[in-house]
Amino acid sequence: MFPRHLVLATLAASAFLIGAVHAADYPSRPVQYIVPFGAGGAAELASRVVTEGFTEALGQPFVVENRPGANGIIGTVQGAKAAPDGYTLLQANGATFSVNPLLYKAATYDPAKDFTPIGLVARQPYVIAVSAGLPVHTLDELIALAKEKGGRLTYATGSTSHQLAGELFQKEAGIKLTHVPYNATNLALPDVISGRVDLIVTAAYTAVPHLGKIRPIAATSAERAKLLPDVPTFKELGYPNFVVEGWFGVSAPAGLPPEVVKTLNTALNKHLAQAKVREAFDNAGFEVTPSTPEEFGSFIKQELETGRNVVQAAGIEPR
């Protein structure tokens, strides 16, 4: 039989060890995953697929917490300020990481410095589409018409990321359009289908059910959208700098221990490699693009740079 004090000492020592190198047995309690938007929307749905993967792989519940407010700023600020212990993760996406800091003074975070990138999850290609009644079929025809109308062509968007693509289009093509903002793309569709608004910038998957009533002219993504393989990209059409995509990934507050980053990135990429997961994302119009934490970090920097150029060229001041 072991002397009792020895047993106690061993227990105490192991308890101490658990406390000290907690990264080794991370996670030992539930993890909250902040989504900086309210319930609803494809990105929020997709984040639930991601947390399901973490839960399965790491054996602790990863719980989605919707923290909506101020276009995603409130939840993102909370994510930046949380303790970097791996028990608070944040959904990073195009709107909160590459658009908001440029448009709103209230977005006090620096996407490149205040967060630890964990991994990119998926990208979402956008298209610029015209109402079927508009007599243009190619990008050149569209640009010619816009020049002829001198700013009277209208374009609808349902999010600030789509608007960014619209602003970039005007900058690159040297044209002027009138912007008609909507709270969500679905609310813009009746006006575009009926021809009251001439153009729309939207995700490729939103455009697919309405083909015939709206006509995609060009994709804003680096590669053609899987859902619309016949629609050429701006890149192909002679605009090498024109790449705007929706995207989302997983991030954490700055200073997350590297072991935890590795654990999370491995679990994430393993989950994303599964056929059924890819299929669920495909169906919702997302193209799965796993990455290493370093790749994701430089991706964020590059996105921010693109956004900054557009916003400066359009003369938009942060509000």
Q: Which of 7, 184, 273, 313 binds other proteins (CB under 8 A)?
A: 184
The dihedral through the CA atoms of 220, 226, 228, 229 has a sign that is positive
Q: What is the DSSP string of 31-97?
A: EEEEESS-S-SHHHHHHHHHHHHHHHHHSS-EEEEE---GGGHHHHHHHHHS-SSSSEEEEEEIIII
Judged by CB, which is closer to other proteins: 34, or 139? 34
Cβ(125)–Cβ(42) under 8 Å?
A: no
Q: How far is the CB of 74 from other proteins (least distance, A)?
A: 6
β-pair type (62-66, 88-93): unpaired
> Measuring CA to CA, which residue among 164, 176, 179 is closest to residue 220?
164
Contacting range for other proteins; rule: CB under 8 A; set: 133-141, 180-188, 214-222, 299-307: 180-188
Q: How far is the CB of 174 from other proteins (least distance, A)?
A: 21
Judged by CB, which is closer to other proteins: 203, or 243? 203
# of chain residues touching other proteins (CB under 8 A): 52
The reply on whether position 315 binds other proteins by CB under 8 A is no
Measure the CA–CA gap between 144 and 128, rounded to whole angstroms: 15
Judged by CB, which is closer to other proteins: 191, or 223? 191
The reply on whether position 80 binds other proteins by CB under 8 A is no
Measure the CA–CA gap between 226 and 11, rounded to whole angstroms: 56
Measure the CA–CA gap between 147 and 152, rounded to whole angstroms: 9
Residue type, 255: G
β-pair type (287-288, 115-131): antiparallel
Q: How far is the CB of 100 from other proteins (least distance, A)?
A: 10
> Measuring CA to CA, which residue among 50, 207, 237, 53 is closest to residue 130?
207
Q: How far is the CB of 21 from other proteins (least distance, A)?
A: 32
Q: Which of 138, 178, 298, 312 binds other proteins (CB under 8 A)?
A: 178
Measure the CA–CA gap between 4 and 8, rounded to whole angstroms: 6
The reply on whether position 191 binds other proteins by CB under 8 A is yes
Q: What is the DSSP string of 88-124?
A: EEEEEEIIIIIIHHHH-TT----TTTSEEEEEEEEEE
Residue type, 285: G
The reply on whether position 190 binds other proteins by CB under 8 A is yes
Footprint (CB under 8 A) of other proteins, residues 212-251: none
The reply on whether position 71 binds other proteins by CB under 8 A is yes
Judged by CB, which is closer to other proteins: 65, or 141? 65
The reply on whether position 82 binds other proteins by CB under 8 A is no
Judged by CB, which is closer to other proteins: 48, or 137? 48
Q: Could you tell me how many helices (H) and strands (E) the chain has, helices first? A: 11, 10
Binding track over 18-47 against other proteins, x by CB under 8 A: --------------------xxxxx-xx--
Q: Which of 73, 231, 261, 300 binds other proteins (CB under 8 A)?
A: 73
The reply on whether position 193 binds other proteins by CB under 8 A is yes
Q: Which of 194, 241, 274, 298 binds other proteins (CB under 8 A)?
A: 194
Residues that bind other proteins (CB under 8 A): 38-42, 44-45, 48-49, 52, 65-71, 73-74, 77, 103-104, 106, 152, 154, 160, 178-184, 186-187, 189-191, 193-194, 196-197, 205, 208-210, 279-280, 283-285, 319
